[in-house]
């Protein structure tokens, strides 16, 4: 899968995947969604973002974990 809105620059934010070269990490956007924020709230908090940025951040996160097995703690 090709990501057009996700950028990685070792000279910016220590190479953390960001949205379109902005200093907005993918993890921040995904975390906001996980915390229950809707797209409108996220776009209000980060006016430089676009709705497609949020969708692609979620797709990127899904692809990142698809290839890895994450350990689960037994209850």
Domains parsed from the chain with CATH numbers: 6-66 (1.10.10.10)
- Give the long-range contacts of residues 61-66, CB within 8 A, separation 24 or more: 61/26, 61/27, 61/30, 63/1
- The contacts of residue 17 (CB under 8 Å, 6+ apart) are 6, 7, 8, 25, 26, 27, 60
pLDDT band at 69 (very low <50, low <70, confident <90, very high): low
* Torsion sign across C-alpha atoms 21, 28, 65, 56: negative
Per-residue pLDDT, averaged over 55-74, amounts to: 82
Residue-level pLDDT at 66: 84
Residue-level pLDDT at 38: 98
């Amino acid at each position: 899968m090709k990501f057009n809105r996700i950028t990685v620059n070792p000279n910016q934010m220590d190479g953390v995947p960001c949205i379109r070269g902005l200093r907005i990490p993918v993890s921040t956007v995904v975390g906001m969604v996980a915390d229950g924020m809707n797209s409108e709230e996220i776009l209000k908090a980060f006016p430089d973002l676009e709705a497609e940025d949020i969708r692609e951040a979620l797709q990127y996160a899904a692809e990142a974990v698809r290839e890895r097995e994450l350990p689960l703690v037994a209850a």
